[in-house]
Amino acid sequence: MEFSALLQKLIRISNVKPQVLADRMGYDVSYISKWQSGAKLPSSRNAEELFGKMAHFFAVNTEAAQQKEIKEVLGLEYDGAGLEKALEKCLLQSLLKQKEQKEEHRKVQERISYDSLWQDQETVAGAVGGMIYELCSRAERDVDIIVTCPFQEYVTKENDFFKKLEALEKRGITVRIHQFIDMEKFKNQTDAYCRCIAMYLNAIHSVRYDFYELPHEHADIPVLVIKNGLLVTEIQEPFTREKYTTVIRSLPLVNAYYEAAYACLISRKPLVEEYSVHKMYQEKYIFDYMMQNEYRYLLRSMHIIHLPDDMLWELCRKYTGDQESALLQYNMNRNSFQAPVTAVVYKSTLMDYIFDGKINIFGKEAEVEREWRVRHITHLIEELEKNSSIRIFLLENNNPYIGYDDLQSTIYFCRDTVFAMAVQNEISGYYRFFSKKLIDQFNEFYRHIENAGDEYLLRGQKVTDFLRQGLKFIS
């Protein structure tokens, strides 16, 4: 385990404030914060003395249950009296490990900086992804990134880029990613591009993701540029026609590229915009959606689909602020129940609802009691058996379109309207799609999911059988 991660765990388990630890160690609290994030590390010269103090602090400021957790988490072998020495050794080893990794990373960066031609895409993705994260994690102000190729080419699930960036929120730093999209390429890779966009519709406020259309004639050379950071682009060797990726960190050149890209960006309207729910009602966007009289959902969290009337009214009263809002929500949802509905629901979403009662009610995360779940699911089964206008599909968590872990929002589809709602840690965010081209592509994406093979999608009788089985567990 790296030193930064080890220190984070020790602080969490012992439940001490970083300020208290800093005072005992004789350091400013900013050092503790930087050690936790990995932005700075203790000097090897005085590490032995520092870690002796630190190990003693955690040993004497933890109770037996906390010491047991430290042992389990860190895999330490000790008798009760030996915790301090074991911790000191572990801290020293973790520091050496992290310093070795940082040195290796520095060497990679140097190679890229000065030998800046790379052909192997896997190597490029890993190295550039690491450089981007390093720039973001050390930033003292907001970070602006403009990119003309899919950003996920550089930040993969394996390096957990966005999870790492959640820590920036505590420092008030935002990473703004401005993604240009070539709509001609989009049409040929609908699923890949829709998955990319859907992945970044989330409520992590340390990362803001915007999408813009890039004219096809400007899309032949991929570019990623970070203001005051680096430029990644592609060149083609004229004799063999081989393509190479180059990384440039000369700030005058980097910022010249950035300014040119930014000038193109500000002349365009985003394809998707974050909207408040108030604004969506004010501009009648929700009503426009409701009036189209055909609804399709991709549900990452369970919603109030086809509730019995009395349950719907009770929830409207409970989760809206006043009588007028409750009546509005009741009428809107009741009308939607009478229209053709198709819902693609992840298996995990439905199981979370069956076992734990987790449901999204008007943008709020809630848990409903067992009796309500029984009534709701029973009603759903009845509707599915007698009402041909309602269809529910169950999507496997791992599928070729978009995995359960990749999506953090519920997406609502209509012929002329698409919007998304993300709820995380009781924070909700709404996203309105403005581009007709983008709406058409997302509707096509939804059709692809609807027509997925049986190994990925349960339909018809298999869905009602699944719901009945769920009822047995609730009851």
Say if residues 53 and 24 touch (Cβ distance below 8 Å). yes
pLDDT of residue 115: 44
Q: pLDDT tens digits, the chain, 475 residues: what are they?
A: 788 888 888 888 888 888 999 888 888 888 888 888 777 888 887 888 898 899 889 888 888 888 888 887 777 655 555 788 888 888 888 888 888 877 776 665 555 544 455 556 666 767 777 888 888 888 888 889 999 887 777 765 555 666 667 667 777 788 888 989 888 888 888 998 898 888 878 756 677 888 999 876 666 778 899 999 989 888 777 777 777 788 888 888 889 989 988 888 888 888 988 877 677 767 776 667 666 677 889 998 888 888 888 888 888 888 777 777 778 777 777 766 667 889 999 999 999 999 888 888 777 778 888 998 899 999 999 989 987 788 999 999 999 999 998 888 889 888 788 888 886 666 667 888 988 999 999 999 999 999 999 999 999 999 999 999 998 888 6
Residue 54 CA to residue 22 CA, distance in Å, equals 10
φ/ψ of residue 178, rounded to 5: -105, 105
Say if residues 446 and 402 touch (Cβ distance below 8 Å). no
φ/ψ of residue 4, rounded to 5: -60, -45
Say if residues 201 and 128 touch (Cβ distance below 8 Å). no
Residue 68 CA to residue 62 CA, distance in Å, equals 10
- In the block, tokens 């009648």 appear at 284
pLDDT of residue 6: 87
pLDDT of residue 71: 82
Non-local (6+) Cβ contacts of 123 within 8 A are none
Residue 123 CA to residue 127 CA, distance in Å, equals 6
At 90, list the tokens.
């572990």
Residue 369 CA to residue 371 CA, distance in Å, equals 6
Strands 341-346 and 295-299: parallel
Q: Cα 204 to chain center, whole Å?
A: 7
Q: How many C-beta atoms lie closer than 10 Å to residue 243's C-beta?
A: 13
SS3 303: coil
The whole-model pTM stands at 0.67
Domains within the chain, CATH numbers bracketed: 3-103 (no CATH), 116-270 (3.30.870.10), 274-474 (no CATH)
- Torsional sign, CA 388, 390, 394, 395: positive
Strand partners, 176: 144, 208
pLDDT of residue 274: 81
Residue 215 CA to residue 265 CA, distance in Å, equals 11
Strands 223-226 and 230-236: antiparallel
Say if residues 200 and 194 touch (Cβ distance below 8 Å). no
